[in-house]
Structure 1
Amino acid sequence: MDDATTGLDNPFWASLCSRHRGIALRAGDVARYPAAFAPFLGVADAEVDVDDALDTLVAPGESVYLLGVAPASVPGGWRLQAADPLLQMVCDTPLPVIDGPEMVALSEAHRADVLALTALVYPHYFRERTMELGRYFGIYRDGRLAAMIGERLGTDAAQEMSAICTHPDDSGRGHARRLTAMLTNDTLHRGRLPFLHVSRSNVRAVRLYEALGYRHRCDIAFWSLSRA
């Protein structure tokens, strides 16, 4: 996995040009996910002229997000606003998987449960078709989806762990730890580098990932872009 970090400094663009190129909406050196999948837009580099592309790719009233690389300038009528950087973390060694309830592969049959859980605890970036970006797994308790994890961004060499979330009533049971270790190990077994993004303000999650064996790769810049 010597080249596994290639693209991680510009993960939206890298993913849209590789793993998700089949669904990418593209205008020159600007690409985005369809809105039903994710509100993410990437540019090849900071010097890209985005003037025409933004009018083509971003609907009126819509906000999109950029990670790692943003255009040096945007046209009049648009607002590019920096948010707090995210922690980008990676893991290159297998993790212990604690005992616990069954972990099930989530499918179309589970979509309503997934959307209900993410609407409750992970509402900002999960969309109707986000599940189609990769594999998703969950733990059920008393007939309710108690916790989940999935694959979102990715290249041939690296895979993002995403939507790691637990229902508030099931917090503290080790579900997130169990799911994260399982999918991390499976990703490593497939020859890809697991990575994830987390806000520094989410101290509990950062501590969990560090305790599991994830390490800080970089602080990665994050922006929102919308019509002014």
Structure 2
Amino acid sequence: MVTGPHPLNRPIWNALKLSQRQHAITRGQAVRFDPAFGQFAAIPDTTPDSLAALGELVREHGDVILFEPADLPAVPGAELVQRAPIVQMIAEQQIAPGKSLFDVEPLTDADGDEMLALATLTRPGPFFSRTHELGDFVGVREGGVLIAMAGERMRCGPFTEVSGVCTLPEHRGKGLAGHLTRHVTGAIQARGETPFLHAWASNTGAIGLYESLGYVRRAELTVSLLAPA
């Protein structure tokens, strides 16, 4: 049972200060993932010192993305490129494994270049050269080609994020995304952890898919993308 502020209210902060702090770069009160792993950053509050530290991280290491319960104030030395709402969803009830429709295989470091190429083409969300090292990833191949994948990204104590769900355009509509999401969700739950994920609030198709798998809406957060001014 969660007591106090829920860890998923501020998932990036809690990931970087707890479960994934080994991947963090810190300046003052601001923290971000090493750019090889991701753009996600966070601050504990919106005091001038915290905002200034965040601006320093942006200037030193490039663009950052924040998930916050409310709009972010202006950050010194940084420019707001995008702001949009996202829906955070969680699977608190056990999700039964689906019918085995595809041959799902684990993906490893040896598949890193293919994973990055697939994510770059399909844009499931920020994905960089070492993002696949943040958790377990699985995929489906056809003719030796990686056509779909899904995996894990942020970890906040007992909560693990499902992410990187993507399919080559010519293979969409076959149920790959749902099958792989169910597979990753089941693996997380088998470890005694609780899966969660994020979707753009405007992406009703993805939200509907996740709801059909057993995910429920938990919160709405604001995404802010900052770049050096």
Indicate if the aligned counterparts of 1:90 and 1:194 stay in contact, CA closer than 8 A. Answer: yes
Name the CA shift for 1:133/1:72 in 2 (closer, same or farther; >3 Å).
same
Determine the structure 1 residue equivalent to 2:6: 6
Structure 1 residue 180, shift from structure 2 partner: 1.0
Q: Over residues 155-196 of structure 1, what are the superposed CA-to-partner deviations in whole Å (9 max), with x where a residue is unaligned?
A: 221000001111111112211111111211221221211100
Q: 2:197 aligns to what?
A: 196
TM superposition shift of 1:226: 2.1
Check the 8 A contact 2:89/2:218 in 1, yes or no: yes
Partner SS state of residue 198, structure 2: strand
Distance 1:225 1:148, change over 3 A: same
> Is the CA contact 1:89–1:196 (under 8 Å) kept in the aligned structure 2?
yes
1:209 is displaced (CA, Å) by 0.4
Q: Which residue of 1 aligns with 2:64?
A: 64
Q: Partners in 2 of 1:107 and 1:171 — Cα distance? A: 23
1:73 Cα deviation (Å)?
4.4
Q: Distance in 2 between matches of 1:168 and 1:210?
A: 22
Residue deviations 1:83-102 (CA, integer Å, cap 9, x gap): 12101000112223122122
* Cα displacement (A) at 1:207: 1.2
SS of the residue 1:177 aligns to:
helix
Partner of residue 128, structure 1: 129
The residue type paired with residue 98 of structure 1 is: K
- Asked if the contact 1:49/1:71 (under 8 Å) is kept, the reply is no
Query: Which residue identity is paired with 2:13?
Result: W
Q: Name the aligned partner's letter for residue 3 of structure 1.
A: V
Change (3 A) 1:145 1:51: same
Aligned pairs for 1:40-189 (under 5 A) are 40-47=40-47, 49-50=49-50, 52-54=52-54, 56-59=56-59, 62-68=62-68, 72-75=73-76, 77-80=77-80, 83-96=83-96, 97-122=98-123, 124-189=125-190
Q: 1:48 to 1:149 in 2, by over 3 A?
A: farther
Identity rate of aligned residues, in percent? Answer: 34
One-letter code aligned to 1:25: I
Contact 2:72–2:224 (8 Å) recurs in 1: no
Partner of 2:42, secondary structure, is strand
SS of equivalent residue, structure 1 residue 186: helix
Matching residue's letter, 2:43: V
Instruction: Report the 3-state secondary structure (helix = DSSP H, G, I; strand = E; otherwise coil) of the residue aligned with 1:173.
Output: coil
Give the counterpart letter for 1:128 in structure 2: S
Opposite residue 90 of structure 1, the aligned amino acid is: I
- Paired residues in the alignment total 226
1:205 deviation in Å? Answer: 1.2
TM-score (normalizing by structure 1): 0.90
Question: What amino acid is aligned across from residue 223 of structure 2 in structure 1?
Answer: F
d(CA) in 1 for partners of 2:172, 2:193:
29
Q: Does 1:31 align with 2:24?
A: no
Give distance in 1, aligned partners of 2:40 and 2:179: 28
Gaps of 5+ in 2: none
Asked whether the 8 Å contact 1:19–1:155 carries over to 2, the reply is: yes
Q: CA deviation at 1:123?
A: 6.3
Instruction: Please tell me the root mean square deviation across aligned C-alpha atoms, in Å.
Output: 2.1
* Larger deviation, residues 56-65 vs 190-199: 56-65
CA contact (8 A) 2:160 2:196 kept: yes
SS in 2 for 1:37: coil
